Chain A
């Protein structure tokens, strides 16, 4: 009876948890003109069907605030382009950054047809993402444009779905087909920040120009080629995510499955799936890592099986000896849309364990050793260094598009105890000294015997007489 009840409870719980962001489902959609809502209706319905409770508000609506009682009032914000240059008191640059600090996720959609609000512009500048300052600046490409809708202006770019950022980074945005990026605002990402990563770069022949000033010929483009990013992301140190989508029209119904033409070839845009991938990543439905148990133990010749049950504590030793064999295991899961799956890093990537006191003494790649239904167990065996002190088992796993893992377990590494050293007779170099001692002992016993029991010889008797 009881198990029936509990399994029913689990069922209810899993149904409620299905299709939901890892961090929460309160989504605020900021849209100035409520009449424009129709344009995004399919995208918003998709979000609702994935478990988000969306609230569409004008930025200047009464009592609208990102925060309530010092906590964030929404988990995610979608900022759609507005006609006016100001976004009102609820969306100052400071508020947007503060929202990121409270681990809220923001998807900022820009459009070259409306001016970017100053608050958004300065918030992005704060994060080292620069966008053109003048209104109407647009990305064009005379090579990869949609010749059915933009045969004259070349401002609807048709691009292949992006590949992986690097060979060791997982690609959450790939797939078949072309995506239409109409009237995009290009971004330049600061080179110094490891938190920024582009998702979609402009093709090498594209450039961003201002139609107002450079109608005849482009003289000083904002940026050109692959240095121009059309969709870029920031994942802060607290794993809050911000995505800058250069073209809000990517999310509009019109382009979700539109017939387009690129250099004579008719294609259908794959924007709907791409928009789903973009929002899923930004709102933490994908790319979220979770660490389960971290277990380490002294290797005494037999390997132990990790118990992943949460009911049993980690129960790790707190002290090891120098130069002893240690096993380390960690359980990592990846959240994928609505459930935890075993985490599989890219083939060229490695999760690394550092055994460190101030600086790492050992930094080792972990290899997957087992898999459960929703996690992978990574492990490595190594020898503690010949240095005593307070050490940390540390996993600091930071990669673009994954939430950060930073796990530490502190242990003491002690000296050899006095009875753990090899005995002197095991050291061949000591045999001379050991022999010396026993010769001395034997000599001493012989001397005592002679001193006690020696009779005088003839010669010495004579001498004494």
Chain B
């Protein structure tokens, strides 16, 4: 932006100076020609340049081409050698500038040759045409000249690889990084879960039904309780209590609460179990099982 504004202001400035100063720098007989390697005489293009208006069409510089700029520097009307005669290329997007010095003879005739290998890599990859301006200035009171004279379109051979150096480090804010979290574990749709859970729970009535049909029953409960009431109640109760302990362990207890409780219940199950199972054995020996 600053570059652009300074360019504009210096253009304006030079324009103003041309009006006011007694003499001012300019050029005459300027041509820009492109010669293509191997195309022979007459190949390429040749255009006359005007100091007051830039060339309407842009000049194209191909891979093997050489650009040749020839002009005569004039101070007012007389041909003269200035101290500064530059061809300045500007990248319109980045504002990058590079000046090429015209070799000027005593007579004021100057020329510069340019090919792609003279250009920095930023110019070779520029998407927009480069603005080529001529700067002529010298010591003393003559007003200097600076104006855009043509656009330079650099067309690179896409088959030739270009080594672009890595952009140097500059201290600035770098892009943000947001950590990508691993996705949470997912459950299958609830309806499927419920169907299968229902199937699993439904298996219990089926099992009980099959047992019933095979003749399972609890008819000897009263007989067993009659024969050994304490031990049967304790034995079955301790098995229930053990399941209760497992439930408590699952929901809230830790291992150190679980183990003593399981030990106590297990002790009662052992003592009462031996009595209860003796009673069961008596029934079997009596042919009641």
Contacts and interface: CB of A to CB of B under 8 A. Distances in A.
A207 B84 contact: yes
A263 B99 contact: no
Contact of A455 (B144, B173, B220, B232): B220
B10 to A, nearest CB: 5
A323 B181 contact: yes
B168 interface: yes
A455 B99 CA distance: 113
B135 A205 contact: yes
Contact of A432 (B169, B196, B224): B196
Interface in B157-181: 168-179, 181
Interface in B224-274: 224, 232, 235-236, 239-240, 243, 246
B174 A429 contact: no
Pick the most buried of A144, A364, A450: most chain B CB atoms within 10 A of its CB: A450
A193 B276 CA distance: 92
Interface string B130-155: 00000101111100101000000000
B221 interface: yes
A226 B224 CA distance: 109
B207 interface: yes
Interface stretch (B11-19, B47-55, B58-66): B11-19
B218 A350 contact: no
Contacts of B190: 428
Interface string A131-145: 000000000101110
Interface in A393-450: 398-400, 427-432, 435-436, 438-439, 441-443, 445-446, 448-450
A371 interface: no
B84 A398 contact: no
Contacts, number: 191
Given A205-B137, A362-B178, A456-B288, A450 B193 contact: no
Contacts of B81: 216-217
Nearest to A220: B101
B287 A464 contact: yes
Interface stretch (A119-127, A148-156, A268-276): A148-156
A186 B218 CA distance: 110
Contacts of A363: 174-177
B217 A428 contact: no
A432 B138 CA distance: 94
Given A352-B174, A361-B179, A431-B194, A460 B187 contact: no
A153 to B, nearest CB: 6
Interface in A356-410: 360-365, 383, 385-386, 398-400
Interface residues of A, number: 76
Interface in A212-251: 216-221, 224-227
A209 B135 CA distance: 16
A144 B176 CA distance: 43
A439 B81 CA distance: 107
B170 A454 contact: no
B240 A445 contact: yes
Pick the most buried of A216, A354, A459: most chain B CB atoms within 10 A of its CB: A216
Nearest to A359: B177
A225 B101 contact: no
A143 B146 contact: yes
Given A204-B10, A445-B239, A448-B239, A194 B17 contact: no
A427 B179 contact: no
A431 B193 contact: yes
B241 to A, nearest CB: 12
Contacts of B221: 453
B7 A204 contact: yes
Contacts of A365: 173, 176
A449 B236 contact: yes
A16 interface: no
A203 interface: yes
Interface residues of B, number: 81
Contact of A217 (B14, B82, B187, B280): B82
A455 B14 contact: no
Given A192-B168, A204-B7, A221-B101, A431 B179 contact: no
Interface string B10-49: 1001101100100000000000000000000000000000
B224 A453 contact: yes
Contacts of A455: 217, 219-220, 288-289
Contacts of A428: 187-188, 190, 193
Contact of B10 (A143, A350, A398, A442): A143
Nearest to A346: B173
A194 B171 contact: yes
A349 B224 contact: no
B201 interface: yes
Nearest to A166: B172
B236 A143 contact: no
A309 interface: no
Interface string A164-194: 0010100000000000000000000001111
Contacts of A361: 177, 179
A41 B246 CA distance: 93
A292 interface: no
27 contacts: A143-B14, A143-B146, A152-B140, A154-B139, A168-B172, A194-B169, A204-B6, A216-B81, A217-B84, A225-B88, A226-B3, A263-B13, A264-B20, A352-B176, A386-B181, A399-B172, A428-B190, A439-B200, A445-B240, A446-B207, A450-B211, A450-B218, A452-B280, A453-B219, A455-B219, A456-B289, A464-B287
**3 closest Cβ contacts across the A-B interface?**
A142-B137, A429-B187, A457-B215
Interface of B: 2-3, 6-7, 10, 13-14, 16-17, 20, 81-86, 88, 90, 95, 97-99, 101, 103-104, 135, 137-141, 144, 146, 168-179, 181-182, 187-188, 190, 193-194, 196-197, 200-201, 203-204, 207-208, 211, 215-221, 224, 232, 235-236, 239-240, 243, 246, 276, 280, 287-289
Interface of A: 140, 142-144, 151-154, 163, 166, 168, 191-194, 203-205, 207, 209, 216-221, 224-227, 263-264, 323, 349-350, 352, 354, 360-365, 383, 385-386, 398-400, 427-432, 435-436, 438-439, 441-443, 445-446, 448-450, 452-457, 459-460, 464
